[in-house]
């Protein structure tokens, strides 16, 4: 995925996370990840797998398509 694509995805994760009323740490812990995982995703420091994106979309009650459409 291009850097621009990763930025779009990271911005949408942040947007939907905030709409769900979750902090970065809370979402990380719900995913069973280190409490800084979402922070690293949103700051483009780590890549995301399709499987993890699917888990995040379920937790945020979104369709995975919501994250990849422009």
Cα 6 to Cα 13, 21, 51, distances in angstroms: 11, 23, 15
List strand residue ranges (DSSP E) for 1-70, in order. none
pLDDT tens per residue across all 70 residues of the chain: 788 888 999 999 999 999 999 999 999 999 999 989 999 999 999 999 999 999 999 999 999 999 888 7
Distance, CA of 31 to CA of 35 (rounded, Å)? 9
> Does the pTM of the predicted model rise above 0.75?
yes
């Amino acid at each position: 995925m291009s850097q621009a694509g990763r930025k779009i995805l990271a911005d949408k994760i942040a947007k939907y996370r905030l709409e769900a009323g979750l902090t970065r740490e809370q979402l990380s812990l719900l995913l069973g990840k280190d409490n800084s995982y979402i922070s690293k995703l949103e700051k483009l420091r780590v890549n995301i797998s399709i499987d993890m994106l699917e888990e995040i979309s379920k937790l945020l009650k979104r369709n995975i398509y919501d994250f990849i459409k422009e």
